[in-house]
Amino acid sequence: MMNISITKSFQLLAFSSNGMRQPLLFIVFFALYFIGVLGNLIILIVIVIDRHLHTPMYVFLSNLSFLDICYMTITLPKLMYILLSGDNAISPLQCFTQLYFYNFIVVMEIILLSVMAYDRYVAICKPLHYHLIMNKKNLVLLLCVNWMLGCLNSLLLICFISQLSFCHSTNIHHFYCDTKALVKISCPTKLFQILYRLESLLFGPVPFMIGLLSYIQIIRTILQLKSTNSRRKAFSTCTSHLTVLTIFYGTVICTYMTPVSEYSGINDQLFSVLYAAVTPMLNPLIYSLRNKEVKNALLFLISHK
């Protein structure tokens, strides 16, 4: 951890690179944060309270809402402070702490979305075996493995990054401490480069292919149904998740699967805003507006109160 003590502080140079206050941008990101946290919190409360929603699909959805709340809380408060105060400095300890929890949550959400795709595959393609495959024991096991993988991956990554020599600069051209942004200003070792590529492959294309193959099978199964009403009902159970999956993976792939270069910084920041602020805010709206069970449970809760 010697490099942490050598570097006094980093500078987050994104929307307030000149040290000027940005009150309008602060209002925009505060609105995104408030709406996102409130929406996900409502979804989480509704699922916990309504016993009819205590099924694997909605247990995964409640976990997704919790991760989205954490997602936004890790990145946006520091950005809002910078926009309001103009102080871009972030200490190495704060930076690596933010990086650890950010990678933790990102990996968990990537795996969770793939697990949710598999859950829809089993429900539609193997309905008779659904309760056998997605039983309580397997459900708890999947969630525990997800948390363990997220924790171990983030811990391994942060141990390597904290040992890097930031020989180029201490200016991070991003609005939070991001792995790709830190790699740009460091002199990475060959071992770290190998680890970074393996991590990008393991938690990028692999989960994406699992989700893609699951939905290919789902669509094939649905198209084979003879009843139009049955096809409509089958599609309605997975369109919300498919929408979220498409938005999330689209922005993540555009950010992390592109090569590190001098000109990718602005694009990375724009895509990062989409998946760190906009997507978590849209998820509750997508699931509540397109999911009758969540909408009915929410209406029942409001009317009951």
Angle between helix axes 205-223 and 92-125 (nearest 10 degrees) is 20
User: In which band, very low, low, confident or very high, does the pLDDT at 38 lie, cut at 50, 70 and 90?
Assistant: very high
Task: Report DSSP state, residue 9.
Answer: -
pLDDT at 172: 86
**Rg from Cα positions in the chain:** 21
Mean pLDDT in the chain? Answer: 82
| pLDDT-wise least confident of 95-99, 132-136, 267-271, 283-287 | 267-271
Average pLDDT in the 159-188 region?
83
Average pLDDT in the 177-189 region?
83
Give one DSSP letter per residue of 153-202, joined into a string: HHHHHHHHHTT----S-SEE-SSS--HHHHHHTS---HHHHHHHHHHHHH
pLDDT at 41: 92
Place of tokens 């690179």: 17
More confident of the two residues 204 and 24 = 24
pLDDT digits (tens, 9 = 90+) for 235-291: 777 777 778 888 777 777 666 655 555 445 566 677 778 777 888 888 888 877 667
| pLDDT-wise least confident of 84-88, 133-137, 217-221, 274-278 | 274-278
pLDDT digits (tens, 9 = 90+) for 142-155: 999 999 999 998 99
User: In which band, very low, low, confident or very high, does the pLDDT at 4 lie, cut at 50, 70 and 90?
Assistant: very low
Distance CA 260, CA 213 (A): 29
* pTM score above 0.75: yes
Do residues 98 and 74 make contact, with C-beta atoms less than 8 angstroms apart? yes
Kindly give, in sequence order, each residue whose CB lies less than 8 Å from that of residue 174, ignoring residues fewer than 6 positions away.
12, 13, 14, 181, 265, 268, 269, 272
pLDDT at 2: 40
User: Any idea what the Cα angle at residue 176 is, between residues 170 and 180, rounded to 5°?
Assistant: 70
User: In which band, very low, low, confident or very high, does the pLDDT at 138 lie, cut at 50, 70 and 90?
Assistant: very high
Give one DSSP letter per residue of 44-75, joined into a string: HHHHHH-GGG-SHHHHHHHHHHHHHHHHHHHH
Kindly give, in sequence order, each residue whose CB lies less than 8 Å from that of residue 303, ignoring residues fewer than 6 positions away.
none
pLDDT at 263: 45
